[in-house]
């Protein structure tokens, strides 16, 4: 009996929907087992069943060969199952130590005895190379470090089976590498890991076997070593996916956007370094210019300054030959600039508005939607329906769908549809595929290339190396607020690009 977890023929039904339909998941002791599926395929439901949050209608669960019933997370904990959720469950103003022992405090006569716990944490941290300082406050440490605290939490509870739910979604490429190292170390020490993701490259890198589910159904289990990435992605999506974009050579013509000597000062106290430091570049018609960099190197601020969400401290922004540095967001919006924002919930959509209302967010005042201060309801409806049709946005109630209830992929499609339909001269896309599944990524990539081929400019900011390499015609690398390299994607390797991004290499 070498399976540590067996979930046999699990069926979990919600009224009207079979979230899990006869799914089998078997995890061997000491392996990294990937659970692959698109958003909404039923991965989270399956894990919630294992974690005791839901009871399955059919099927059974065996842990170490014993059939068990898991009624709540405490039962799961008893059985040695621990989970790192996609959104961490940490108390932000507690220290690492306090967070880890929360719920399993060591006490003596009713008083907390932190010393024993602290020693155990330090030794665990050393054993697995986590380098976590137990006395640091959670809100002061990086997201990657917080994740390690979550992992430590499981180790501290002597969990044998670790479930990691989309652990790489929030990490930088370097942090991802480190996490992978930690995962390999953990399995070497005899832990078993269930790794939930939809990123194929990561599975290829660390996982031993991979179970694929699609729309609640079990598709199959494969040995990762013997399986091509393409095969896995086909199993996941149900059709062939081409993430290698076929695009012709770019034929850049005249400048659409010029940025000259742009600087933004840090407003954090005690920091006198510029967040964006003297950045100059231009974007031409018919090219995709990509700004690559690790998160937090000033690309967010740079894009916000270009689009007008924040003011720059010095420098010039020139759009179609006109200085728009001091112009309003509306002026830029109506003079050829479209913007797919980084945070689609915060900036991209008014989530409580319906699809049609969101589709005219920057155009509601234009003559096609506005007559003497009154909205032209009919035109708005038509426009929303046109976007749904042309961009294949899936909704439950058509244009009346409140965008909050739409899936992330469809929300993003709506934003992309809206921004492209405004016929911009330049499309600024900030991490347009973040958190989306492969199907949606493929779609958005295609749209960006189509924009380029129409003779418009695309300014893309991405943290994903593959996306940068595949899509761009020209790459600028941003590091600590400054452009450190201008590269041609045909002449460099992903590894080299990574070196520029981490600041270990600079252009002459």
- Tell me whether residue 176 or residue 213 sits nearer to other proteins (CB atom): 213
Residue 337 Cβ vs other proteins, minimum distance, rounded to whole Å: 10
Residue 332 Cβ vs other proteins, minimum distance, rounded to whole Å: 8
- Tell me whether residue 134 or residue 439 sits nearer to other proteins (CB atom): 439
Residue 295 Cβ vs other proteins, minimum distance, rounded to whole Å: 19
Residue 350 Cβ vs other proteins, minimum distance, rounded to whole Å: 5
Residue 396 Cβ vs other proteins, minimum distance, rounded to whole Å: 7
- Tell me whether residue 100 or residue 427 sits nearer to other proteins (CB atom): 427
Q: Residue written as tokens 């005791």?
A: 52
The torsion angles phi and psi of 484, rounded to 5 degrees, stand at: -105, -15
329 Cβ neighbours under 8 A, 6+ residues apart: 307, 308, 309
Kindly state the tokens that stand for 465. 């190396």
3 Cβ neighbours under 8 A, 6+ residues apart: 26, 27, 28, 29, 62, 65
- Tell me whether residue 125 or residue 333 sits nearer to other proteins (CB atom): 333
Nearest by Cα to 261 from 247, 248, 276: 276
Residues of the shown chain interacting with other proteins in the complex, contacts defined by CB under 8 A: 14-17, 19, 40, 42, 44-45, 215-216, 307, 309, 328-334, 339, 341, 346-353, 357, 361-362, 364-365, 369-370, 373-375, 377, 396, 405, 407
Interatomic CA distance for residues 441 and 432, integer angstroms: 8
Kindly state the tokens that stand for 319. 């759009």
The CA-CA-CA angle for residues 124, 129, 134, to 5°, reads 55
Q: Residue written as tokens 């179970």?
A: 211
Beta pairing partners, 370 = 375
Burial of 175 (0-12, 13-18, 19+ CB in 10 A): buried
- Tell me whether residue 397 or residue 493 sits nearer to other proteins (CB atom): 397
Pairing of strands 32-36, 209-214: parallel
Alpha helices in 160-317 (DSSP H): 173-188, 200-206, 229-237, 299-307
Nearest by Cα to 477 from 505, 445, 449, 448: 505
- Tell me whether residue 80 or residue 424 sits nearer to other proteins (CB atom): 424
Residue 193 Cβ vs other proteins, minimum distance, rounded to whole Å: 23
Interatomic CA distance for residues 291 and 431, integer angstroms: 10
Beta pairing partners, 180 = none
Residue 43 Cβ vs other proteins, minimum distance, rounded to whole Å: 10
Residue 464 Cβ vs other proteins, minimum distance, rounded to whole Å: 23
Q: Report whether 49 contacts 7 (CB < 8 A).
A: yes
Interatomic CA distance for residues 286 and 303, integer angstroms: 20
Residue 327 Cβ vs other proteins, minimum distance, rounded to whole Å: 11
């Amino acid at each position: 009996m070498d399976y540590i977890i067996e979930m046999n023929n699990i069926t979990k039904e919600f009224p009207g929907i079979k979230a899990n339909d006869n799914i089998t998941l078997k995890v061997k002791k000491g392996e990294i087992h990937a659970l692959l599926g698109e958003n909404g395929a039923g991965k989270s439901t399956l894990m919630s069943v294992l974690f005791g949050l839901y009871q399955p209608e059919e099927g059974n669960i065996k842990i170490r060969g014993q059939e068990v019933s898991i009624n709540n997370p405490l039962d799961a904990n008893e059985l040695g199952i621990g989970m790192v959720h996609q959104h961490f469950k940490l108390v932000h103003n507690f220290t690492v130590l306090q967070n880890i022992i929360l719920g399993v405090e060591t006490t003596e006569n009713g008083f907390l005895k932190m010393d024993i716990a602290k020693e155990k944490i330090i030794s665990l941290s050393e054993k697995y190379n986590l380098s976590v300082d137990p006395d640091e406050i959670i809100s002061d440490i990086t997201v990657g470090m917080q994740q390690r605290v979550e992992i430590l939490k499981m180790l501290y509870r002597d969990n044998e089976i670790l479930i990691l739910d989309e652990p790489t979604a929030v990490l930088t490429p370097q942090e991802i590498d480190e996490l992978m190292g930690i995962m390999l170390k953990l399995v070497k020490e005899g832990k078993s890991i269930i790794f939930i993701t939809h990123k194929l490259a990561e599975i290829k890198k660390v996982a031993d076997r991979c179970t694929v589910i699609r729309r609640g159904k079990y598709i199959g289990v494969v040995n990762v070593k013997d399986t091509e990435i393409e095969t896995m992605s086909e199993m996941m999506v149900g059709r062939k996916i081409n993430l290698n974009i076929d695009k012709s050579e770019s034929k850049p013509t005249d400048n659409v956007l010029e940025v000259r000597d742009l600087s933004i000062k840090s407003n954090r106290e005690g920091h006198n370094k510029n967040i964006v430091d003297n950045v100059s570049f231009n974007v031409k018609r018919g090219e995709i210019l990509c700004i690559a960099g690790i998160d937090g190197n000033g690309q967010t601020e740079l894009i916000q300054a270009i689009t007008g969400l924040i003011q720059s401290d010095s420098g010039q922004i020139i759009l179609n030959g006109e200085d728009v540095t001091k112009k309003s967001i509306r002026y830029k919006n109506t003079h050829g600039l479209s913007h797919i924002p980084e945070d689609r919930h915060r900036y991209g959509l008014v989530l409580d508005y319906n699809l049609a209302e969101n589709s005219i967010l920057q155009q509601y005042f234009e003559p096609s939607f506005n007559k003497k201060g009154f909205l032209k309801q009919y035109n708005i409806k038509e426009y929303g329906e046109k976007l749904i049709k042309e961009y294949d946005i899936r909704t439950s109630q058509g244009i009346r769908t409140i965008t909050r209830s739409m899936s992330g992929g469809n929300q993003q499609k709506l934003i992309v549809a809206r921004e492209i339909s405004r016929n911009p001269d330049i499309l600024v896309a900030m991490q347009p595929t973040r958190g989306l599944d492969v199907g949606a990524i493929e779609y958005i990539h295609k749209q960006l290339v189509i924009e380029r081929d129409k003779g418009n400019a695309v300014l893309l900011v991405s943290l994903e190396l593959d996306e940068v390499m595949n899509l761009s015609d020209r790459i600028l690398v941003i590091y600590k607020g400054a452009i450190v390299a201008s590269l041609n994607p045909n002449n460099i390797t992903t590894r080299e690009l990574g070196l520029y991004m981490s600041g270990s290499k600079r252009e002459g």
